[in-house]
């Protein structure tokens, strides 16, 4: 199909499709003339993925490019792709490494094993430091409750990764890691709103 058809199929303006092509988020089409290229179903699918990552996924163009690189890297094994995705995703920025001991203690109580340089471990340590700095150091029981809830869904996330095709498994891991995060946060806020209504406004 031509670029106009690709735009129509996905509801993305032609100018935006061209922008994604320039930014390397969308692979070039097959050249069929000096200024014409042909696109296929893989482009439709990729364009939908790009829109999802940049929209409610909330990623920047640069971060989306890193995440897509993790999806596309040939021969990546699933466990390594998960690590690559976690490193590409928004998390804790550069800066002094936070004190990791408290974060490691939470993991040790659950028996979780993660890499020494896990970006999520740094992110957890930084988040705990922020709570401390704000005057709300979280207790172990609160952290254990959060870890239990997170563990339940994280375990299930990984159990659902399709085992057959490696590229499909990698894509599944990256997409679900990014796009289920806003689902989880929205559901926690909705649960808070419901509980707050029952506790503080009698209904």
Report 154-193 residues binding a copy of itself (CB under 8 A).
154-161, 172-173, 175-177, 179-193
Cα dihedral value 75, 31, 68, 8, nearest 10: -140
Query: Does residue 118 interact with a copy of itself by CB under 8 A?
Result: yes
Q: What is the DSSP letter of 93?
A: -
- Complex with a copy of itself: residue 37 or 100, whichever CB lies closer: 100
Q: What DSSP string runs through 17-33?
A: HHHHHHTTSS---EE-S
| List 74, 94, 135, 164, residue binding a copy of itself (CB under 8 A) | 135
Query: Does residue 101 interact with a copy of itself by CB under 8 A?
Result: no
DSSP bridge pairs for 30: 38
Name the one range near a copy of itself by CB under 8 A: 13-21, 23-31, 61-69, 131-139. 131-139
Are the beta carbons of 170 and 74 closer than 8 angstroms? Answer: no
Closest approach of a copy of itself to the CB of residue 153, in Å:
5
| Helix ranges restricted to H, the chain | 3-10, 14-22, 41-54, 61-72, 78-88, 101-110, 119-133, 140-159, 166-200
Query: Does residue 8 interact with a copy of itself by CB under 8 A?
Result: no
Annotate each residue in 36-75 with x if it binds a copy of itself (CB under 8 A) or - if it does not, as one string: ---------x--xx-xxx-xxxx-----------------
Structure tokens at 165: 């095709």
Query: Does residue 136 interact with a copy of itself by CB under 8 A?
Result: yes
- Complex with a copy of itself: residue 36 or 154, whichever CB lies closer: 154
Closest approach of a copy of itself to the CB of residue 202, in Å:
9
Query: Does residue 17 interact with a copy of itself by CB under 8 A?
Result: no
Reduced to 3 states (helix: H, G, I; strand: E, B; else coil), residue 97 is coil
Structure tokens at 115: 């890499």
Query: Does residue 22 interact with a copy of itself by CB under 8 A?
Result: no
């Amino acid at each position: 199909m031509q670029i106009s058809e690709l735009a129509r199929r996905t509801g993305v303006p032609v100018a935006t499709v061209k922008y994604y092509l320039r930014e390397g988020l969308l692979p070039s089409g097959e050249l069929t003339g000096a200024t014409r290229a042909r696109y296929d179903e893989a482009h439709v699918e990729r364009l939908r993925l790009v829109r999802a990552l940049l929209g409610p996924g909330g990623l920047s163009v640069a971060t989306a490019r890193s995440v897509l690189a993790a999806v596309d890297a040939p021969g990546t094994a699933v466990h390594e792709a998960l690590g690559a995705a976690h490193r590409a995703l928004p998390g804790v920025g550069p800066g002094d490494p936070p004190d990791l001991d408290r974060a490691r203690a939470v993991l040790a109580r659950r028996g979780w094993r993660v890499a020494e340089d896990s970006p999520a471990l740094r992110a957890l340590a930084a988040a705990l430091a922020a709570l401390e700095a704000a005057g709300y150091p979280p207790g172990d029981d609160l952290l254990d409750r959060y870890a239990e809830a997170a563990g339940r869904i994280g375990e299930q996330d990984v159990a659902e990764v399709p085992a057959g095709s490696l590229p499909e498994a990698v894509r599944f891991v990256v997409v679900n890691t990014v796009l289920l995060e806003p689902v989880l946060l929205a559901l926690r806020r909705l649960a808070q709103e419901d509980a707050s209504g029952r506790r503080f406004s009698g209904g």
